Structure 1
Amino acid sequence: MAGEGNFIWHELMTTDTAAAGQFYSAVVGWNAEKADNTTAGGMDYTLFKLPGFEMGTAGMMALTPEMQTGGARPAWIGYIYVDDVDAKTAEVPTRGGMVHMGPTDIPGIGRFSVVADPHGATFYLFRPNMPDGPMPEMPKPGSPGTFGWNELNAGELDVAFDFYSALFGWTKTMAVPMGEMGIYQVFANEGRDIGGMMRKVSQVPMPFWQFYITVDAIDAAVERVKTHGGKITNGPHPVPGDAWIVEGVDPQGAKFALTAGKR
């Protein structure tokens, strides 16, 4: 079981699950499989799986008309593990954040809430129901098709870091100067770097979390993105750790990012 404060699941909310499933399957190499409703809390849910693995790497749900009327748009959302969803949800407003949906049970799956940091970046708090018996084999971290990095485009870096640090115990590690863009602050949980934070650029209307999916090679992935209807918005760029990154938008409008150890 992942310790408190770790991202343990990533989920795409989109307007066209069939088309999005085809896009990410082509770009990343996932298989998009409909989950059995009896194991998905009765929801219409799609799992992104890597060939040869029983467990999903990520999930996908459709945005309902009501969600869209309320302003929801296609986006990737991160789930952060907590030991007590109710207690942690109650703590969020005391740290300056907001609660969008209070603690809710998904039958057979777990308990979650939808919250946001002081500048409006949304994330989920989640405690899953653990199945009996041994856990199924999972892909090796850092292998293609897994999520390799979690990045906050923050409203104000110091305020945002203080919020998450108080909530989850995240600690600062490497700080990378980025000129006029300020500092890129890497953060760790349980002694392991799991993401970074930076001040969002002025053209971006709202702070948001962005998640990096590991692929085999950046240039090849960029071509797959373009071929299958996505757009590249930034990169490719080399980053510390001998890696390459690229940012894009999928055909339904959700922002995503890719990372690889080679170009």
Structure 2
Amino acid sequence: MTAPNTFLWYELMTTDTAASGDFYSHVIGWKLESVDDSPEPYTRFLIGDAGVGGMMSIPPDQCDRMKPGWIGYIGVDDVDLYAARVANAGGVVLRAPEDIPGILRFAVVADPAGAAFIIFKGEGGPMNLPPIGTPGTTGWHELYGGEVDTTFAFYSGLFGWTKGQAMDMGEMGIYQLFAAGGEAVGAMMRKPAEVPSPVWNFYFCVDDIDAAVTRIGEKGGTVLMGPHQVPGDGWIVMGLDPLGASFALVGARN
């Protein structure tokens, strides 16, 4: 790839796909599409005709150790090469590269602090994604990880990400913005004590943050924080879906 690698897909692992699909389609507005030819039952989240994410069930034999949650896919041009680079840079390969025939090649990896993500290469060429900021797209990527300098060096070395503004949050440490070939697309910070383990958190765009808060309640979700104003006149909310997966929203206050 000539441009820095970046997040291109977001996947929810859950214990009840019907309930989760009902929640996110109502709160965010995604259309749901079942993928009948997938190796395991899979649902795509759509904006119009464009896929922006997906959902599948946690295998029954994994429910004791896996909790519902989101994971992001970062596009690369050689999955095997990048899996080796992750390991050489101090990360961990959690699931070795393998193919989903006709769809993609992927590997599940984690950074040195333990935050998991997926590297992948699709079979169909470049993805046709809606512009960032469109309701239903992912507007921000936030890592609760290890020490910021070490963490940034890992991702920058792998993917070519560059530093943006660094915001001093006092006792919470530095909030380091990063870019992937243009404006900032996310930030990294040291994991707060109340967060169980290092993790990537994704902010899904909505057109009206207060209306979205109402919709969260209507479908049995929980608002953990917000609405809280952030630079650029945006407002954010952090929450839990009815199955316990963390998510976040970003949008205007109308």
TM-score range, shorter chain: over 0.9
* 1:130 paired residue among 124, 132, 136: 124
Cα separation, 2, equivalents of 1:13 and 1:127: 20
Answer whether contact 1:3 1:81 (CA < 8 A) is retained: no
Q: What does 1:1-263 align with in structure 2 at a 5 Å threshold? A: 3-37=3-37, 40=38, 42-50=39-47, 53-69=48-64, 71-130=65-124, 138-262=129-253
Give the CA deviation at 1:36.
Answer: 2.5
Cα distance in 2, alignment partners of residues 43 and 218 from structure 1 = 34
Contact 1:155 1:206 in 2 (8 A): no
Shift of 1:153: 0.6
Q: Which amino acid aligns with 1:11?
A: E
Q: How many residues align?
A: 254
The CA distance in 2 between the partners of 1:138 and 1:98, in whole Å, is 29
Q: Distance in 2 between matches of 1:205 and 1:43?
A: 29
Structure-1 separation of matches of 2:163 and 2:210: 31
TM-score using structure 2 length = 0.95
Structure 2, unaligned runs of 5 or more: none
- SS of 2:187 mapped into structure 1: strand
Q: Secondary structure at the match of 1:190?
A: coil
C-alpha deviation, 1:65, in angstroms: 1.4
Q: Is contact 2:4–2:161 with CA below 8 Å preserved after alignment? A: no
Q: How far did 1:140 drift?
A: 2.8
Contact 1:154/1:207 (8 A) holds in 2? yes
CA-CA distance at 1:191 after TM superposition: 2.8
SS at match of 1:88: helix
Unaligned runs of 5+ in 1: none
**2:49 and 2:111 mapped to 1: Cα distance?**
34
Return the letter of the residue paired with 1:119: A
Offset, 1:217: 1.1
- Say if 1:252 and 1:165 are closer, same or farther in 2 by CA, change over 3 A: same
Structure 1 consecutive aligned stretches of length 4 or more whose deviation exceeds 3 Å = 1-4, 135-138
